[in-house]
């Protein structure tokens, strides 16, 4: 197969940042994707419906002329989030989900939740009104090894929460482990998972072998090869509980290439080419549309995009830029470590 047409995809986990960075990167998403769930971990974070409305206006203003793209807004869950404000945000059609960051788990997460009991009033309201909770599924306690954080989160935080509040709809974002895949598959209802482009392609060797490579450092950190293979199997299976959420997260190079580099990998520009490569290798190109374009809308109660995109397999590798130049500074583009021949026409 050298040509593939599918419904226009969506990105169910995206960082656009703000200001000059937003203006510099949004075109890489709006060119290919119809919608994206926008992460709220700005400085300061998007904690109220009013914050989300203002942020959405800035995003819409930055969309390149001629592109049709809908940002789906989220709120940053804190221990003081107002249930009434969350409900009003959903009723207005503005808020698609609320995001749980355990405090200290990733970029700009220091204001996240430390005591889940304090967040229960808003979580109970969300369960009542059918508003999904998106979770960064890692514990941050220092005694837990960074490669075990996801598994421990499932055992000590997520499973108790779901037993306490079974009607709450939960998206495990950027699943990175076989444990996470198995846990989602074991659920009877109200649990799904997004999988990133880069976690389908790299394992932890990409970060550490031959010297530390900061542009492969992300959170959750890439794991062992057996976990990557479990993610690939889930993504290419056609199982409706798994869908694309790139977690594309731009940082300027000086903030990646330093003594305490930021976590995040920028994949928006070449995600569809990377995914086509992965799915072709698994003999599953016929399931790419489900993963990238159909399963996510179904989970979030939306219709698939009516438009289509076409992928063409080129004889010569597609020449993606090594960096995306922005007004904030240069952002290194994800290198999958193999040539990409699939191109969005």
Task: Catalytic residue, from 247, 286, 319, 343: name it.
Answer: 247
Q: What φ, ψ does residue 326 adopt, rounded to 5°?
A: -130, 165
| Residue 247 falls in the annotated catalytic set | yes
**Cβ-proximal residues to 65 (8 Å cutoff; 6+ apart), any chain:** none
* CB-based burial label for 10 (10 Å; 0-12, 13-18, 19+): buried
Task: Give 249-314 as a DSSP string.
Answer: ----HHHHSSTTPPP-BB-TTTHHHHHHHHHHHTT-GGGHHIIIIIHHHHHTT-PPPS-EEEEEE-
- C-alpha 308/C-alpha 314 separation (Å) is 19
Burial 52-79 (b: 16+ CB within 10 A, else e): beebbeebeebbeeeeebbbbbbbbbbb
Instruction: Please give the helix or strand (H or E) that residue 61 lies within, else none.
Output: helix 49-62
Structure tokens belonging to residue 182: 């198995």
Q: Do 104 and 111 form a contact (C-beta atoms < 8 A)?
A: no
The single-letter DSSP state of residue 53 is H
C-alpha dihedral (276, 282, 248, 172), degrees to nearest 10: 140
Q: Do 18 and 317 form a contact (C-beta atoms < 8 A)?
A: no
Catalytic site positions: 247
């Amino acid at each position: 197969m050298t040509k593939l047409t599918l419904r226009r995809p969506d990105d169910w986990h995206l960082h656009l940042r703000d200001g000059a960075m937003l203006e510099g990167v949004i075109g890489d998403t709006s060119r290919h994707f119809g919608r994206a769930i926008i992460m709220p971990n700005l400085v300061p974070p998007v904690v109220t419906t009013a914050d989300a409305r203002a942020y959405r206006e800035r995003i819409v203003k930055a969309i390149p002329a001629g592109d049709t793209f809908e940002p789906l807004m989220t709120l940053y869950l804190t221990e003081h989030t107002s249930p009434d404000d969350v409900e009003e945000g959903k009723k207005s059609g503005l808020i698609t989900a609320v995001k749980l960051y355990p405090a200290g788990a990733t970029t700009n997460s220091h204001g996240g939740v430390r005591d889940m009991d304090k967040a229960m009033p808003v979580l109970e309201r969300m369960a009542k009104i059918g508003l999904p909770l998106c979770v960064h599924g890692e514990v941050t306690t220092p005694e837990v090894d960074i490669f075990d954080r996801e598994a421990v989160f499932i055992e000590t935080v997520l499973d108790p929460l779901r037993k306490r509040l079974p009607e709450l709809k939960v998206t495990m974002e950027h699943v990175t482990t076989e444990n996470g895949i198995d846990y989602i598959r074991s659920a009877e209802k109200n649990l799904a998972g997004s999988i990133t482009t880069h976690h389908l392609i790299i394992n932890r060797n990409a970060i550490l072998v031959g010297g530390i490579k900061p542009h492969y450092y992300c959170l959750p950190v890439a794991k062992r090869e057996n976990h990557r293979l479990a993610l690939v199997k889930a993504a290419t299976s056609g199982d409706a509980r798994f869908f694309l959420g790139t977690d594309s997260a731009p940082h300027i190079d000086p903030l990646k290439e330093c003594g305490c580099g930021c976590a995040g990998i920028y994949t928006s520009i070449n995600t569809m080419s990377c995914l086509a490569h992965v799915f072709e290798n698994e003999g599953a190109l016929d399931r790419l549309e489900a993963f990238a374009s159909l399963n996510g809308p179904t989970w979030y109660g939306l219709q698939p995009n009516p438009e289509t995109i076409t992928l063409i397999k080129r004889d010569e590798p597609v020449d993606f830029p090594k960096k995306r130049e922005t007004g904030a500074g240069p952002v290194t583009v994800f290198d999958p470590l193999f040539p990409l021949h699939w191109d969005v026409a």
